[in-house]
């Protein structure tokens, strides 16, 4: 079993878009209306939006490969790219997605360790994320990785207001 993590480059835009849409759909389609899913996917993962995010120097995307096949991806944000104003001493895991057939093989933990490595290398003190309150399996995974709930914020999925738990792991 060969596991490799590679930083995404601009030329990876299309494959990143495909994997982003596939994994978002698989994760959330059963608990959300098709209309709200469509609205969210169009806004969050259109080419222009992803291109802007990839060119932001305070964000990084990584693919994880298992035996040369893309198994998932990670997006981390620092400084002003973070989706909450939490200051420059922290790093946000904005997206961590493992494709359906690759789940529960240790790859999510591998991507989390990549985020930890960046956090420590940058001398940051805290790692944090927002997770949908109804995404029980991701919440269990984050608890396993040592995160605790420290807040809540709301966002819109299409026309529906939903709530994310803010989860934090302190490194000091």
Residue whose CB is less far from ligand COA, 10 or 104: 104
DSSP state letters, 92-131: EEEEEEE-GGGTTSSHHHHHHHHHHHHHHHTT-SEEEEEE
The window from 36-44, 52-60, 116-124, 140-148 that contacts ligand COA (CB under 6 A) reads 140-148
The window from 2-10, 14-22, 119-127, 131-139 that contacts ligand COA (CB under 6 A) reads 131-139
Q: Does 138 bind ligand COA (CB under 6 A)?
A: yes
Residue 86's contacts (CB-CB under 8 Å, 6 or more residues apart) are 92, 126, 128
Q: Which of 40, 142, 156, 165 is catalytic?
A: 142
Residue 97 annotated as catalytic: no
Q: Please give the residues from 81 up to 120 whose contact with ligand COA meets the rule CB under 6 A.
A: 96-98, 103-109
Residue 87's contacts (CB-CB under 8 Å, 6 or more residues apart) are none
Q: Are 21 and 50 in contact (CB under 8 A)?
A: no
Chain residues in the site for ligand COA (CB under 6 A): 27, 96-98, 103-109, 131, 135, 137-138, 140-141, 144
């Amino acid at each position: 079993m060969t596991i490799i993590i590679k930083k995404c480059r601009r030329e990876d835009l299309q494959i990143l878009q495909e994997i982003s849409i596939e994994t978002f759909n698989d994760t959330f389609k059963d608990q959300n209306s098709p209309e709200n899913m469509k609205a969210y996917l169009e806004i969050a993962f259109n080419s222009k939006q992803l291109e802007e995010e990839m060119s932001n120097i305070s964000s990084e995307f990584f693919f994880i490969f298992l035996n040369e096949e893309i198994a998932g991806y990670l997006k981390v944000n620092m400084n002003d790219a973070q989706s909450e104003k939490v200051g420059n001493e922290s790093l946000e895991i904005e997206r961590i997605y493992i494709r359906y057939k690759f789940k529960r093989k240790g790859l999510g933990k591998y991507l989390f360790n990549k985020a930890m490595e960046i956090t420590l290398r940058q001398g940051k003190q805290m790692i944090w994320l927002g997770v949908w309150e109804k995404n029980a399996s991701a919440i269990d995974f984050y608890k396993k990785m040592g995160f605790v709930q420290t807040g809540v914020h709301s966002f819109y999925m299409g026309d529906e207001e939903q709530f994310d738990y803010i989860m934090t792991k302190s490194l000091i």
